[in-house]
Chains A and B, each alone.
Chain A
Amino acid sequence: MRKDEEIMMEYRAGSVDALEEIFQRYKKPILNYAFKLLSSFADAEDVVGEVFYILTSRKNSYEPVAKFSTWIYTIAHNVSIDRIRRRRKILFFWQKKDKDGSSYEELDIPDTRFMPDSDAEDSDIAGYVKKAIDKLPFQLKEAIVLRQYHNLSYEEISAVLNCSLSKVKILIFRAKEVLRKELLPYMEEIR
């Protein structure tokens, strides 16, 4: 299997097929990453489109020194942040300020399309997991999502989030702590 970086360099050289391959590889991860962050499927779809738009428009700025996954997730991270800011501008009059001012909790608008809506489905662990992730503060959510679902190393995460490695460690630990407490009653069902 060819490396992402090689494919990207091919695309830089002008291969449309290479772009198609990148798209096929990353469309789903980017969509899920954005969906987890924004809790809105429509927004997540928009993010995918925008990420690939940026990717194509800034293809020449990519250098193979960095991992391609880090680069594309950085783009997705920036696009998601941008979208949240835009959303905040619209909702500024409803927004409650967090004590530390760093949380976007109020802006995490849940997408109910995939939420379990009956009592039977409530017992579905996936639904609780989604709820618990949705509740997480934005930075914690981003760190744990990148680690848990996209297998990025702490170092790659620090590059995406543009923060120190130690901070990533703390973010992931805190996220796990919150999720553990939140999901503890349901974890007995997990074997």
Chain B
Amino acid sequence: MIFIHSKMKKLISAYLDNEVSEKEKNLVEEHLKKCTFCRKYCENLRKLSSALNKYIEEDLSPDLEQRIKKNFLGEKYKGVAKMKNKKLIFGISSGALAILIMFVFVGHIYNYAKRSVCGIYNESSGVMGSQYSSDLSFARKQPRAFSVYNANKARSTTGNFPAITALNGSKAREYEMVQDDEPWITTTDNSSAGWRSGIGGNYQSKPLSVAAIKSAANELSQEGPIVIVEPYLPATGKEDKLIRNADATLEVKDIQKVYDEIVKIGKGKNGYLAAANFNESANGRVNAQIILRVPKEKFEETIDEVRKLGQVKRFDIHSVDVSQDYNALVSELNTIKTVYDKIADKLKEKKTDIQQAIRLESELTPIAKRIAAIRNKISEYDNLISVSTITINLYEVSWKLMIQESVKETKQRFVAFVSSLLKNSITLLPLLVIICVVVIVCVVLTKKLVSAIKNIFTKKTS
């Protein structure tokens, strides 16, 4: 029964719309006579139809009608079509322009970045000084010299190639060298960058051919920037006649306290304070230079103790092998002394007349002077060899100063940045104009879109 009703409902719906066949029409009419439920349903649908007809029909507003007529009817239609075509052309061309700008812009930035890296690189060559210009010109040929250097690789490689110093950005980096599992301190300052000596043992340099260095450089250039520096031949360390000195730069909290400590260390090692001076620089930083002299036996102990006094910022130990000079002086002294003795013996002989005695005396005088000079030199060497000089530069750590310096540096960098930006802006000016236009168009379109969305949602929420 329910099935009949549900089927009949569909038929009644179509029947009221006059969308049934003659047969279906008869069927519905017959059923309606018998079934009160369906009759009521039919009545409801009729009422529904009447209700739906109550819907108020709208009409176009006169101004819109005029607009539509103007835009789409008659001859005006052609103009509208053209306008639509224009919009399409504008869209396509602006898209193409945007893509073009992107390519140009990216290309320009890429070139600029490349140029900037070259700039940094040239700056670094300036830091290294003219001594390495030939080596730098070699490194400049390596395109990969611009990337960041791998410190780990540098550590392992410099073990095999001690002549190679890594260069990162604009500053030469110093690496602790590893040779036969013994720690060595390299001495690579910018004025004489190279190897001099090490502590804790003897170091034998391995002279490398230029070809070997270049091949090492090629290998390293896969990892990052490198600069090849010719090795400074170190002292052999096999002779006794070594002048050993050290330079240290320490960052300390209390300069006076550290000064007292250094004096105490010097006294404890049977040494003495050769010189000390304190000064305050223009920026308010307090610096001190202390020159300590200690017996050569106590040299390493003293260094160890001094290093503990503050944060080591630079440490440079250098030895000069004066064995050859020293031996030459000694042998010269012996030779001259023999000659001197012979002349002196001749002078002592009673046979010698006055004239001869005067001549011999005049010959003896320069020899005696020379002997005195050589003895002085030997004694100077003995002094330098037996007592080592340790130059300690101290500077105080001051937060205030650090902040001041960093502010100053930031200011300088900012000025440099702005000036470079201005310089580049002039070259980029045409491009900037185009970018501005694109940005303005984008902003306007975005605003329109946002307002459209807002309108839609205002309607929805209300």
Residues of A within 8 A of B (CB): 16, 19-20, 23, 27-28, 31-32, 35-36, 40-41, 44-45, 48-49, 52-53, 56-57, 87, 90-91, 109-112, 114, 125-126, 128-130, 133, 144, 147-149, 153-154, 169-170, 172-173, 176-177, 179-180, 183-184, 186-187, 190
Contacts and interface: CB of A to CB of B under 8 A. Distances in A.
B57 A190 contact: no
Interface in B17-57: 17, 19, 44-45, 47-57
A53 B54 contact: no
B77 to A, nearest CB: 5
B54 A49 contact: no
B460 interface: yes
Contact of B68 (A44, A49, A111): A49
A148 B44 CA distance: 15
Main secondary structure on A side of the interface with B: helix
Interface in B67-111: 67-69, 71-75, 77, 80-81
Contacts of A90: 449, 452-453, 456
Nearest to A130: B55
Interface of B: 9-10, 13-14, 17, 19, 44-45, 47-61, 64-65, 67-69, 71-75, 77, 80-81, 449, 452-453, 456, 459-460, 462
Q: Which of A20, A36, A52 gathers most chain B CB within 10 Å?
A: A52
Contact of B80 (A16, A53, A110, A128): A53
Q: Which of B44, B81, B459 gathers most chain A CB within 10 Å?
A: B459
Contacts of B47: 187, 190
Contacts of B67: 49
A20 B45 contact: no
Contacts of B54: 125-126, 129, 190
Contacts of B13: 169, 172-173, 176
A45 B49 CA distance: 26
Given A49-B68, A112-B459, A169-B19, A180 B48 contact: yes
Contacts of B49: 148
B9 A23 contact: no
A35 B19 contact: no
A179 B45 CA distance: 9
Contact of B59 (A28, A170, A179): A28
Given A91-B456, A172-B17, A179 B73 contact: no
B73 A49 contact: no
A110 B52 contact: no
B460 A110 contact: yes
A154 B19 contact: yes
23 contacts: A19-B73, A20-B69, A27-B59, A28-B58, A44-B58, A48-B60, A52-B73, A56-B73, A110-B459, A111-B459, A112-B459, A112-B462, A126-B55, A147-B17, A149-B55, A169-B13, A169-B19, A173-B10, A176-B45, A179-B52, A183-B51, A190-B47, A190-B54
Given A49-B71, A125-B54, A176-B48, 12 more contacts: A19-B74, A20-B69, A31-B60, A48-B60, A53-B71, A57-B81, A90-B456, A109-B456, A147-B17, A149-B55, A172-B14, A180-B48
Nearest to A45: B64
Given A20-B73, A90-B452, A148-B52, A31 B58 contact: yes
Given A52-B72, A109-B459, A126 B452 contact: no
A12 to B, nearest CB: 14
A40 B72 contact: no
A49 B64 CA distance: 9
Nearest to B50: A190
A144 B17 CA distance: 11
